[in-house]
Structure 1
Amino acid sequence: MLAGFPISVLAFVLIVTLFSAGVSTLIVWLGLALLLLLTKVAYGFAGLNRRLLRRTLKVDIPTPQIELDLTAPPWRRYVNRLVDAQMWRYLAYLLLSFPLHVFEFPLAIVGVVLLPVGVFVLPVVAALHVMLAKALLGPNTTEQLTQKAEHLQASRARGVDAAEAERRRIERDLHDGAQQRLVAVAMGLGRAKSKMESDPDAVRDLIAEAHADAKLAVAELRDLARGIYPAVLGDRGLDAALSSLAAKSPIPVDVHVVIDPRPPAAVESTAYFIVGESLTNIAKHSGATEAKVNAWREERPSGDLVIVEITDDGHGGATMRAGGGLAGLADRAATIDGVMTVVSPVGGPTVIRADLPCTW
């Protein structure tokens, strides 16, 4: 509240001055320039107030999307912004919040001296301020629904692509692995059947060969099933599953998991495969000597998140390019409205982070 007071005073003075001067000089065209400058001031202070609320009150207000014709001349874009309803909502907030900030400022000073005021009154006033900010600085209901629909449409498309890629992988693994083994078993048993009477010793060797191929096929099918959904993940949860991945890694991996209560199965499997693919990439391409895996559950007003971070000390330079492995992991995360980010400067370290919502 103390920090917002000088910002509100400056915004109020600039808005009143520019609006008054702009309207009074419209007849000589100077007023239009002043009113266009007013839009820049309004948008700037709206963004500043959103950042202030985010840092001081931990309230994240999305930035409204304003449709502007980028092919139009700059002056036309500013005029369209001047008549846009969102700009007037910004002005309404900056004007209405000024007396509220004036009231909050002496109240905050009193709250520093009188503890009951700070403990019981200030939070109520802050809640009212947040309600006003959400109503005027954020997108309206129609915009929120539109943004959510666009996000869901994009997530669905990426989810379909990820499922199709997974289907092709399973088909390829079956064709190149277990299917070839089973064909060899069938051929070996057929040859053994044809030689049953004429060459019993050869039959014994053919059956032993077919038996070995059958065992290899079973092992490959077991590995394929584990790649679809590992048994340890379903039985013992994400902590044990990630520890098993770390144990198989050729480089040392430190695993730290704090997730309680247990998240949905879709979140666990997504986190598992992101960690598994990331550790594989680290071992193959990063030149790292060690890696760390941290996973924890974080409470948010919009719903709980499971956050997974994989860090290595390699040479860096990893990017999410279209069709690459990291892009595929991002697509997998998007199927449950998750977001994956990669920070990998040249020289390292590389940090891969996935924010996975527990509800979607």
Structure 2
Amino acid sequence: MAMEYGQGYGLDVPDKHRLPAGLRAPFEARHWRELGYVLLSLPISILLFTYAVTMVSLGIGLLVTFLGIPVLAAGLAGCRGFGAMERARARGLLDLEVSDPEPLRMRKRGFMAWMGAVLKSGTSWRSFLYGVLQLPWAVFSFVVAVNFWAIGWTLLTYPLWFWLFPMYGGQGGVQLYGDETHHIYLDNPFEIGVTALVGLLFTLATPWIVRALTMVDRLLVHGLLGPSRLATRVVELESDRGVVVDTAAADLRRIERDLHDGAQARLVALAMDLGLAKEKLAEDPQAAARMVDSAHGEVKTALQELRDLARGIHPAVLTDRGLDAALSAVASRCTVPVEVQVDLAQRPVPAIEGIAYFTVSELLQNISKHSRATWAGVDVWRVENRLMLQVVDNGVGGADTSVGSGLAGLTERLDAVDGILVVDSPVGGPTRITAELPWRTV
């Protein structure tokens, strides 16, 4: 595997605005999209609530007859359709990406199988629950958003239109208080200015209030209309299983290639040399002895290659003595000095121990090949139920999981066992790579 060092980073230059975020917010497209979402939620929630409650109540009421089942299934299917529409609306107006929930699972085809799948689907009932819960929240958020928006802009623009009251209303301005003897109007420059200032505060606060309201909508859509945690976990496990299978197949191909190109080819040549030595043994013993001596050297080389191959599959020192000794052996073969510190009171299961060993081994190999470092360090310790690995070096830096295939492949391997790989490698160094694995004891 190859980890790319010394690669430049594409730095994202932040947008420069003349106005701070608080002053820009009322005019940004995001605010208007979120406000539009809140305004649309009220009529949509009324329609969805009416449909959901009517159809489900009717279906439950008709369960004493056969008609109840298809009516209930149709009602839940409609709720699923509304859920798809709401996911699209949240995606377009709130920039909320929610994956589609798991599809209906039908063992057989036909209307009866479809009804059973709809009724047994958790997505159907979560969509119904969304239709029930959204209405009261939509009413609340609509009232709050509209009032803050209308009051803010009305007061802010009051200096532009207060003249309407004395000209067409017969009074000095907006009336704050009035009875039979007293009338208080906003009609002098000071009061008008204060009114506009209060309106400005309302106007500046409205985008953040609307954003806070839509956070609840995001939670509702994500929690009730997206895939369930169980379904998400199943998809992750299926993906991880595919990664494990692909990794195992790649390792088998590598072992086969190493055997075919290395030890097997050397043993075939050795057998031929021994055959020639056997033929020359009677007529030229000295030549035969030289050939046997050469074959003896080839045997030693083949044995060393087999030992290296076995070490690449699973080193014996790891099985016998654990991570401390195994990582020290790997560090001794690195081209730069490596300090190894392993602080483990007990050993994890062999699978996790092997992944930790090969993770450190591959990172040290990449340090030798690409980092141009003069020093490296390996730390291994345990934090609660996690095994932590950290490899650091003082090389040129620039390591990135999105560049090349080395770190990306290592990330996939760790992810297959619920592990995490974090890379901190600014250009110019130093590089600090932290791996986190689940702790599982023997």
Common fold by TM > 0.5: yes
Preserved CA contact (<8 Å) 1:259 1:306: no
* Number of equivalenced pairs: 254
Q: For 1:68, what is the secondary structure of its paired residue?
A: helix
Between 316-325 and 231-240, the greater mean CA deviation after superposition? 316-325
CA shift, 1:272, in A, is: 0.7
Going from structure 1 to structure 2, the CA distance change for 1:257 and 1:36 (only over 3 Å counts) comes to farther
Q: Distance in 2 between matches of 1:33 and 1:297?
A: 47
Q: Distance in 1 between matches of 2:323 and 2:132?
A: 47
* In the alignment, structure 1 residue 85 sits paired with structure 2 residue 130: yes
Letter in 1 for 2:425: S
What does residue 283 of structure 1 align with? 368
Preserved CA contact (<8 Å) 2:86 2:221: no
What does residue 412 of structure 2 align with? 331
* In the alignment, structure 1 residue 154 sits paired with structure 2 residue 199: no
Moved over 6 A (4+): 75-78, 135-138
Preserved CA contact (<8 Å) 2:352 2:440: no
What does residue 24 of structure 1 align with? none
CA shift, 1:281, in A, is: 0.7
Going from structure 1 to structure 2, the CA distance change for 1:75 and 1:337 (only over 3 Å counts) comes to closer
What does residue 68 of structure 1 align with? 87
State which of 228, 231, 248 in structure 2 corresponds to 1:143: 228
Q: Distance in 2 between matches of 1:192 and 1:344?
A: 57
Equivalences for 1:105-116 in 2 at 5 Å?
A: none
CA shift, 1:260, in A, is: 2.3
What does residue 266 of structure 1 align with? 351
What does residue 44 of structure 1 align with? none
CA shift, 1:359, in A, is: 4.6
Q: Distance in 2 between matches of 1:77 and 1:280?
A: 41
Letter in 1 for 2:87: L
Q: Distance in 2 between matches of 1:289 and 1:280?
A: 14
CA shift, 1:77, in A, is: 8.2
Equivalences for 1:233-252 in 2 at 5 Å?
A: 233-252=318-337
CA shift, 1:284, in A, is: 1.3
What does residue 343 of structure 1 align with? 424
CA shift, 1:320, in A, is: 2.1
Deviation sequence 1:35-72 (CA, Å, 0-9, x none): 5699xxxxxxxxxxxxxxxxxxxxxxxxxxx9833897
CA shift, 1:252, in A, is: 1.8
What does residue 397 of structure 2 align with? 316
Preserved CA contact (<8 Å) 1:307 1:355: yes
Letter in 1 for 2:437: L
Equivalences for 1:112-127 in 2 at 5 Å?
A: none
What does residue 169 of structure 1 align with? 254
Measured on the aligned residues, the alpha-carbon RMSD in Å equals 3.7
What does residue 191 of structure 1 align with? 276
* In the alignment, structure 1 residue 352 sits paired with structure 2 residue 433: yes
Deviation sequence 1:303-359 (CA, Å, 0-9, x none): x11111111111111122486222232233233232222222212222222111135
Q: For 2:437, what is the secondary structure of its paired residue?
A: strand
Letter in 2 for 1:196: L
TM-score when scaled to structure 1?
A: 0.62
Between 278-287 and 328-337, the greater mean CA deviation after superposition? 328-337
Q: Distance in 2 between matches of 1:329 and 1:293?
A: 17
Q: For 2:380, what is the secondary structure of its paired residue?
A: strand
Preserved CA contact (<8 Å) 1:159 1:334: no
When Rg is computed on C-alpha atoms for both structures, the one with the higher figure is 2
Deviation sequence 1:198-238 (CA, Å, 0-9, x none): 22211111111111111111111011101111111111111
Preserved CA contact (<8 Å) 2:90 2:96: no
State which of 286, 289, 294 in structure 2 corresponds to 1:209: 294
Preserved CA contact (<8 Å) 1:316 1:347: yes
Going from structure 1 to structure 2, the CA distance change for 1:182 and 1:310 (only over 3 Å counts) comes to same
Going from structure 1 to structure 2, the CA distance change for 1:215 and 1:357 (only over 3 Å counts) comes to same
Q: Distance in 1 between matches of 2:432 and 2:131?
A: 38
Preserved CA contact (<8 Å) 2:394 2:430: yes
CA shift, 1:269, in A, is: 0.9
Q: For 2:272, what is the secondary structure of its paired residue?
A: helix
Q: For 2:345, what is the secondary structure of its paired residue?
A: coil
Going from structure 1 to structure 2, the CA distance change for 1:322 and 1:169 (only over 3 Å counts) comes to farther
Q: Distance in 1 between matches of 2:251 and 2:261?
A: 15
Deviation sequence 1:126-178 (CA, Å, 0-9, x none): xxxxxxxxx99995797110111111112111111211221122122112221
Q: For 2:398, what is the secondary structure of its paired residue?
A: coil
Q: For 1:317, what is the secondary structure of its paired residue?
A: coil
Q: Distance in 1 between matches of 2:381 and 2:130?
A: 41
Between 172-181 and 186-195, the greater mean CA deviation after superposition? 172-181
Letter in 1 for 2:296: H
What does residue 293 of structure 1 align with? 378
CA shift, 1:84, in A, is: 8.4
State which of 384, 387, 412 in structure 2 corresponds to 1:306: 387
Higher relative contact order (CA 8 A, sep 6+): 2
What does residue 254 of structure 1 align with? 339
Letter in 2 for 1:309: Q
